[in-house]
Homo-oligomer: A and B are copies of this chain.
Amino acid sequence: MSIERKEVGERMSQAVVHNGTVYLAGQVAIDKPGTDAKTQTEIILARIDKLLAGSGSDKSKLLQTQIWLSFMQDYDAMNEAWDAWLPEGTAPARACVEARLAFPKYTVEIMVIAAQ
């Protein structure tokens, strides 16, 4: 079974597809660093939409999602964007924990596994 990669960098690829399963890199709000958690989440989810589309998938096919928040007090703000984005009846398995991220300008990171 072959491996397909999208937006391949030297350190990570943004999407990797194998055996009908799509693995995205942890996404942060690269377009709007330092904004509030809801805005960062919206930017991230739009980025996830784009990466999934480029991998023959979409947000109705999410399998597992991990969410890291630098500050758990942002839980409701993140969920506001998340709940609005998710198509009804298609919610993935999910875990959300608090963790500092690689750069302080980002306070939300989301990594997903999806079906093709």
Q: How many residues of A contact B (CB 8 A)?
A: 52
Q: How many copies does the complex hold?
A: 3
Contacts of A33 in B (CB 8 A): none
Q: Which of A1-49 contact B (CB under 8 A)?
A: 1, 3, 5, 8-16, 18-21, 23-26
Contacts of A113 in B (CB 8 A): 23, 64
Q: Once the chains bind, are A19 and B16 in contact (CB under 8 Å)?
A: no
**A68 CA / B100 CA spacing, docked (Å):** 10
| Known contacts A115-B18, A115-B19, A25 near B93 by CB under 8 Å | yes
| Known contacts A18-B115, A79-B11, A113-B64, A25 near B94 by CB under 8 Å | yes
Q: Once the chains bind, are B23 and A21 in contact (CB under 8 Å)?
A: no
Chain A residues at the B interface, C-beta cutoff of 8 Å: 1, 3, 5, 8-16, 18-21, 23-26, 61-66, 68, 72, 75, 79, 82-83, 86, 88-102, 109, 111, 113, 115
